[in-house]
């Protein structure tokens, strides 16, 4: 299965620019995860709601033009019989569409695919506290699914650069939201608990690879970025990974997509 995750920064905008169509046509993913869709199905085009090649599921925020996630599942996965869900149990931000989850059985094995848009946490002290709670609730939920025997793959914008080689200017941003010790400690806890950052596990020493760039300062042209978009899975499942990478040349958002191919 080829799976792509992308913070589209407005799925209608990415479609209007023609960039979403380019990605789907070029990469032909079996599963497409999107974050920050910023809309509802009533506002979406036929391409976004009735694509001939995909079953398209959306989890929209109650607030218009904000947050939201999606998962598209290719019709070619005929052996998939899935269940769709939209909320991390007991997590804050429950009305913001921050989870699109598709659970299915493939060759007798249960998979849970989670497209998650993690909060930024920078709006207020309360938002910061809620972000930290959200992190921990996601961790607990991942563990619960794993304990049920599922192969769990989490993709999305996690709004944290884990280590100094995941950000272009670590010293200048040390302690700031997105590179704060408490956020980075969450990533540490995941790894201690057997979860892994799939790309970093396959590219342990690679530098200057990022997934988000500040638009106003035109930092993408200078590759002054942050690696804050990830695929996470249990370390014991890494042998399923055939390929993983960032599609840095794909335009249409301030984030670039990420792709992983796994044995199914």
Active-site residue numbers? 157
Evaluate whether 198 touches 241 at the Cβ level (below 8 Å): yes
Distance CA 260, CA 244 (A): 4
Cα dihedral across residues 247, 248, 252, 254: positive or negative:
positive
Evaluate whether 68 touches 37 at the Cβ level (below 8 Å): yes
For 208: left if phi > 0, alpha if psi spans -120 to 50, otherwise beta; the answer is left
Q: Kindly provide the residue ranges of all beta strands, DSSP E only, lying in 121-234, ordered along the sequence.
A: 151-157, 195-197, 212-213, 225-226, 229-234
Structure-token pair, residue 139: 């961790």
Evaluate whether 110 touches 103 at the Cβ level (below 8 Å): yes
């Amino acid at each position: 299965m080829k799976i792509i995750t992308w913070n589209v920064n407005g799925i209608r905008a990415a479609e209007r620019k023609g960039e979403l169509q380019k990605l789907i046509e070029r990469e032909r993913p079996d599963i497409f995860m999107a974050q920050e869709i910023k809309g509802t199905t009533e506002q979406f085009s036929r391409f976004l709601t009735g694509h001939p090649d995909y079953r398209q599921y959306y989890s929209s925020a109650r607030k218009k033009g904000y947050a939201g996630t999606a998962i598209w599942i290719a019709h070619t996965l005929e052996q998939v019989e899935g269940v769709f869900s939209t909320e991390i149990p007991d997590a804050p931000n429950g009305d913001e569409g921050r989870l699109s989850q598709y659970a299915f059985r493939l060759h007798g094995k249960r998979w849970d695919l989670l497209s998650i848009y993690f909060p930024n946490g920078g709006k207020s002290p309360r938002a910061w506290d809620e972000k930290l709670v959200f992190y921990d609730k996601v961790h607990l939920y991942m563990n619960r699914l794993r304990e049920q025997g599922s192969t769990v793959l989490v993709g999305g914008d996690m709004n944290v650069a884990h280590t100094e080689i995941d950000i272009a200017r670590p010293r200048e941003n040390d302690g700031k939201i997105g590179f704060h010790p408490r956020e980075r400690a969450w990533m540490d806890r995941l790894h201690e608990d057997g979860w892994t950052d799939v790309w970093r596990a396959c590219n342990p020493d690679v530098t200057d690879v990022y997934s988000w760039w500040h638009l106003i300062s035109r930092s993408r042209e200078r590759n002054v970025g942050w690696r804050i978009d990830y695929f996470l899975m249990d370390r014991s499942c890494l042998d399923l990974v055939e390929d993983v990478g960032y599609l840095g040349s794909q335009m249409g958002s301030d984030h670039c997509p990420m792709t992983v191919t796994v044995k199914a």
